[in-house]
Structure 1
């Protein structure tokens, strides 16, 4: 039978079944038409469908990560969120609500990638506007979305090398597929019975024909085997093979595993070779094959040769396309060579000074902050310089030493440089680092911990400057020490039992400031020292010392001529001085200190604690950039809400009694314009609800005080909400609340007497004491003081303990009539002044000035009225 026929005839099949029993599967017929092709239908569960959808999106997201396409990554992440929302019922049913591990791995990898891209400031600044905006949105959305998976992500980070659920599922599915393929391959072997005799080789005898006919069954079976094998190979050609997606996923997994091993330090050279080797960072600038050698092989290295090489390296500073990182490496290598050859500590000091200068040059923009790692290296180098100077009494570092006069080999050693300038720039860079950080993040706290290092370094530099420096240099070093000390509260200053030899910050500030007062040649250092000294006294409630120091310095008269940073320090000092006066109960002084600052409406800018939004052309970009550089770090801010509350409460305690005493006075002046405007705005409202903000609480308390209701006034000022927002922020909060209660009672009593004195003929001091819950002696003192100052027309009767009121003041109707008379008189005078201006050009009857008889100009309105009456009488007689 021909092998090209897939099946035989019925007669042949019957003969074959009669002669031998062969289990044989029907051979399929393969065609190339899609209509006739037999396809196997695969039924997948909902879990597989949803998980495959998630895996496809994760794969796309990884591809976007490779090319750093943040816009596409953001779109893929949003699509991933929607896909997981669709898969949530399956996860809840199959996984008990626990997210699959491959999904958590994708979120973790995306979070690490976004965090790394965000922390790389240089690369982030180089991004396009769209990519930068997409990175910001992706970071915010990812942080918000991953909050629901914090537990799973933490568990994943503990053991990230465990296989994912999708890997196990893929392994099981691949094993199932391989089993199916093996079964398909084994089918032709099963079709051939093991007992069936093999076909003997053909013989050249007469029975060959009969044997051929008799062996038709075996021949057909062998031909079917060949056809089956051919069909299997043909089917394999048309089978769907592994796609590139699977290869990419496997490559991604392999790369992630290699990165983890690299982080753990367990990668092997074999793995690096298999994965194509390590990545090499290509530096910016000219490409060099090898690093140039420092010195020749057989050169005699001494101090002069090292100094010459240092001059060559330093000559490249500031040039275009200079690799600053390479300069730092060369200086480090040069310092190592000098140390190996024992060339002396003086040369090490000079190399350290050059390294410090190179570190300052590494940051190309002066306005931007230095990177934290380079700032740490800067601190280490300056600290080593101080260590070398303190360990050698015969070593001096100064700017006055020229390079020709340097002594690097023999004592006494002289090195050119300035340690104090390096310290000042280091301190400025530390302030920039703090301003670059988010004040509400952990990064700011970590950066703020470095202030201990800076303060310690300043103390050590002071030791060097006190030994070798001039008085002016000592003043500069002391001022840096004061800048880190004046705003800090020292709890030891409140203790009376100090240890012998223990120095509080108050004594330390006094010692440092007195030296600057005596030895400073410039007014700036002395002014800043005085302001810092006042601030520190006010911080510790030394009101009289701070006030006397401010009055003796006369800084209020010429501070407007100082530089902006000194003016900012002056504003901060006045704000803190006002808080100190308020804590001590001096309400008028507190209002006077805070009035100039708060009446402008811009305390935030005046204290350098932020910028207010301005109109389009009110502030240029350069001015805004300069003002941002002057901002204070967050830990030095003064609470603006506390300042405003203290100002409004002080204004209330002063303004309300004054308004009650001069209610019908048309020429009444305003003590606090801001408070008066807030009070008038509240009175114009048709419906006044319960207060919510701090300003509304102050206005509601003022209205209660005008009625004489001191309890309501105290409840508006001192309550749980105000305590948490304002009063608990003060030192000695309990004393402040007690002081407020006492002042509110006293001023409410004075307001009550001013408002309702005309109603009473006499007032009992005991009744007043019971009404306002005050001691009788204090009530007697307040009433006596009001009588002496002629604020209250009354007299005291000591036997009966009463205040006898005299009804000499007008009633309300009389006061209103007097007000009306004054206003009408003012109106008449203004009309007469207008008539005088018109009459200066024309006479009566239209005659111009200068023609005919000149009119006599009366000196006042009364004379003019008398003249008009006489003229009218003369006209009446003529008629």
Structure 2
């Protein structure tokens, strides 16, 4: 009955009571509470119990994923943080990994990819310059930490690089299964939420339907429910599967099938060729654009036209340099395939090398490693072509209009010498840019053999057909790769003719005779002097340096030549020291060591300047002049040799002129080191090289030669200095002998006033010298009037003459000299003042001025002569 029908009260009551019962219609579900529709068992997802291995590995994967995102944007500071977190997470997972007895492949892949990524960023010098300060610091720190961290996994990383695909299938399968479970749970939760909202909307719509339909539905539903035993459509129970598009098992099954298909495809690719998926429709074949059109005839004109087209893009903004090199190489292969002759192939090869040199737009930076290797191989191929086709005329004097690449005789514009010189310069840049203490520097240094081989081949090609200037340039390049290399055979057998010495002498003589620029002659002469001094040929090197007179004109040379001159003088000084020429060694090294700028003068590094800072341009220019590390001279060895030479000269001189107020200073640097030591309040045992020399000097002043020797020659000094010499035992014996001789001289200067006579035998035993050596030293001192004594040959004694003043007399003489100089100054000042007053009062004519000046000079000379006579009389009385 309709609820809008109005009847009696009883009927209305009965109808109202009937209306309170909401009966669903057929085909719909009864509106039931949500708690009833979805039971607790259906609401709660199944709890997944995960093993410790899965937890730890998932933590590692999350960090690796985060690191990958940071690598994409090159946020090096964040990558460093992720790497540190990865190390901590790996430490936590170590127990699990030890149980598995295998490091996970994804972790090794992360380390290998991170190592390659850091190496790529480090080689990209332009990119590093554009990095922020934080990212640049992060990259440097990450490189150091990663290198140190990967040492523990060297064998695993090596095996992974050899077989990167091994074990990837199992790992992919495990990771995909975990992803499937996560996706099923997410799909399940999303679908439940979506279907619940739809069901709620539908039930709200059904409640607003007419009562007539509901009554009809009630009757039909009740009948159906009775017939079905209470399990009809009106009592449908909602389950999770009703709201899913696919059953969980089906979805998982499909994804497993995809995974098996992927693994099967991988195996097929490994077993036999490439696997290609067939799509609907006709297959589309993509071909690379061809160099020439299909119907174009490939001849000399077409190739030259294409070559000019490629070269025209050289240097333009936006030109892909890699693509330009690839196009030129492809054009060369096409020319070779069509047998267009060796001339056109050689011309293209010249342009390929030029494109490789142009790859790096900044002249101050070096090539990348792969480009350098390509350059080395390409120059070698060019020399092969040049040697195989000696009839082809190649030169810079060949004009482009007169080139002929079609028919013999061939003529090509180009210069093989310039190409090789540029390659040699790039090799030097590569060594300058490498870290001197890294394996990269050693790898690059191995290429020097290939560079020297190319120079030898260039010399063999240039000498028969080149001009005099070109031959001199080739010779100098070879000399500059030879002069600093030590040959033990030539050192041990100086009398025999050595091949290296012969070659260098022949090349240098040719340059001396034929060079017209004067620069090549100067550099070759300095290289020859350096090479002679390196092998201890002291007299040859010294004579060549004195004959060249380079010390008078070197200041007018260019800076690299001045650097070479400094290096040559240093090597000459070291050679003199090894030969026992202490004074010559000191004279050769004093100019380099006196200013404290030896590192900069030898082009082995830059020093901070206090007065003014360098501009960026000046710093770039000076860095370009720096020498590669393998050509450096040890600065600590150089300073030690200089200070020891200064000690052996200066200490006896100071003892001989102790009371002389006007004694000259032989070595300023040595005196500065001594003064700095005397200023110290507490003096401990020596640690540095300078402190050892200072302690040895103090011992020599007292004549204690054994203490002096122990300070100079000990284990610490041997490791730092003396073992750097070839045959260091010979050098140490020479230093010991010099210390004994100079200690004897110092002892005689200091204590001669105490003795009446000295026995030569006693001095020989005291300083452990032969009697002949002691006799020679004493005789020289007496002849040079350094010691007032006489030798008694029968008794082998030295008798002192007592002509030296005592200490008190010496101090009195010094005081008298200072007082006399003070009186001279006062008289000069008074006379000048009186003369000025006289001229002002009298008007001062020119004659009076001249007369006054002459009288003043006469009086001054007479006063000086009188004072000199007085001092002589006083000294005779005191003696």
TM-score band w.r.t. shorter chain: 0.7 to 0.9
CA contact (8 A) 1:578 1:593 kept: yes
- Over 3 Å counting, the alpha-carbon distance change for 1:212 and 1:579 in structure 2 is closer
Shift of 1:237: 10
Which residues in structure 2 correspond to 1:425-824 (within 5 Å)?
425-496=422-493, 503-615=498-610, 617-824=612-819
- 2:12 maps to which residue? none
Shift of 1:401: 1.9
Structure 1 unmatched ranges of 5 or more: 1-26, 182-208, 242-246, 274-288, 868-879
Counterpart Cα distance in 2 of 1:115 and 1:599:
43
Counterpart Cα distance in 2 of 1:595 and 1:498:
32
Shift of 1:257: 14
Counterpart Cα distance in 2 of 1:151 and 1:865:
90
Deviations 1:572-609 (A, max 9, x none): 11011111111111011111110001111111111111
**Further displaced range: 381-390 or 703-712:** 381-390
Q: For 1:767, what is the secondary structure of its paired residue?
A: helix
Counterpart Cα distance in 2 of 1:174 and 1:305:
58
| Aligned counterpart for 2:135 among listed residues 131, 135, 138 | 131
Counterpart Cα distance in 1 of 2:808 and 2:263:
91
Shift of 1:677: 1.0
Shift of 1:337: 2.7
- Over 3 Å counting, the alpha-carbon distance change for 1:71 and 1:849 in structure 2 is farther
Q: For 2:394, what is the secondary structure of its paired residue?
A: strand
Counterpart Cα distance in 1 of 2:443 and 2:398:
39
Counterpart Cα distance in 1 of 2:88 and 2:791:
84
Shift of 1:516: 0.5
CA contact (8 A) 1:609 1:631 kept: yes
- Over 3 Å counting, the alpha-carbon distance change for 1:482 and 1:777 in structure 2 is same
- 2:200 maps to which residue? none
Shift of 1:735: 0.7
State yes or no: 1:351 paired with 2:375.
no
Q: For 1:601, what is the secondary structure of its paired residue?
A: coil
- 1:201 maps to which residue? none
Which residues in structure 2 correspond to 1:204-283 (within 5 Å)?
219=230, 227=237, 230-233=238-241, 268-270=274-276
Counterpart Cα distance in 1 of 2:619 and 2:267:
45
- 1:186 maps to which residue? none
Q: For 1:803, what is the secondary structure of its paired residue?
A: strand
Which residues in structure 2 correspond to 1:3-402 (within 5 Å)?
29=35, 52-81=58-87, 83=89, 87=92, 91=95, 95=99, 103-147=107-151, 161-162=166-167, 219=230, 227=237, 230-233=238-241, 268-270=274-276, 293-402=290-399
Shift of 1:497: 10
**Further displaced range: 309-318 or 534-543:** 309-318
Q: For 2:777, what is the secondary structure of its paired residue?
A: helix
- Over 3 Å counting, the alpha-carbon distance change for 1:33 and 1:393 in structure 2 is closer
Counterpart Cα distance in 1 of 2:308 and 2:629:
42
Counterpart Cα distance in 2 of 1:491 and 1:346:
46
Q: For 1:638, what is the secondary structure of its paired residue?
A: coil
State yes or no: 1:416 paired with 2:413.
yes
CA contact (8 A) 2:647 2:697 kept: yes
- Over 3 Å counting, the alpha-carbon distance change for 1:324 and 1:59 in structure 2 is closer
Shift of 1:714: 0.8
- Over 3 Å counting, the alpha-carbon distance change for 1:114 and 1:383 in structure 2 is closer
CA contact (8 A) 2:63 2:82 kept: yes
Q: For 1:804, what is the secondary structure of its paired residue?
A: strand
CA contact (8 A) 2:789 2:798 kept: yes
Deviations 1:426-455 (A, max 9, x none): 111111111111111111111111111111
Q: For 2:753, what is the secondary structure of its paired residue?
A: helix
Shift of 1:149: 5.3
- Over 3 Å counting, the alpha-carbon distance change for 1:533 and 1:688 in structure 2 is same
- 2:876 maps to which residue? none
Shift of 1:459: 1.2
Counterpart Cα distance in 2 of 1:261 and 1:620:
63
CA contact (8 A) 2:241 2:247 kept: no
CA contact (8 A) 1:389 1:396 kept: no
CA contact (8 A) 2:265 2:275 kept: no
Deviations 1:471-507 (A, max 9, x none): 12111111111111111112231354999xx852111
Shift of 1:312: 3.6
- 2:206 maps to which residue? none
Shift of 1:819: 1.6
Shift of 1:417: 1.5
Counterpart Cα distance in 1 of 2:758 and 2:396:
79
Deviations 1:735-773 (A, max 9, x none): 111111111111111111111111111111111111111
**Further displaced range: 291-300 or 814-823:** 291-300
Counterpart Cα distance in 2 of 1:861 and 1:272:
118
Counterpart Cα distance in 2 of 1:593 and 1:418:
41
CA contact (8 A) 1:397 1:417 kept: yes
Counterpart Cα distance in 1 of 2:404 and 2:545:
48
Q: For 1:735, what is the secondary structure of its paired residue?
A: helix
Deviations 1:213-251 (A, max 9, x none): 8985xx56x999963xx334379799999xxxxx9xx99
Q: TM-score, normalised by structure 2?
A: 0.79
CA contact (8 A) 1:516 1:526 kept: yes
Q: For 1:822, what is the secondary structure of its paired residue?
A: helix
CA contact (8 A) 1:840 1:849 kept: no
Counterpart Cα distance in 2 of 1:797 and 1:258:
108
Counterpart Cα distance in 2 of 1:454 and 1:265:
43
Counterpart Cα distance in 2 of 1:256 and 1:118:
37
Q: For 1:622, what is the secondary structure of its paired residue?
A: helix
CA contact (8 A) 1:841 1:849 kept: no
Deviations 1:809-830 (A, max 9, x none): 0111211221222222223333
- 1:10 maps to which residue? none
Q: For 2:574, what is the secondary structure of its paired residue?
A: helix
CA contact (8 A) 1:475 1:516 kept: yes
CA contact (8 A) 2:268 2:275 kept: no
Counterpart Cα distance in 1 of 2:81 and 2:664:
64
Tell me the matched-pair count: 778
**Further displaced range: 390-399 or 485-494:** 390-399
Counterpart Cα distance in 2 of 1:482 and 1:725:
30
**Further displaced range: 451-460 or 61-70:** 61-70
Counterpart Cα distance in 2 of 1:747 and 1:592:
18
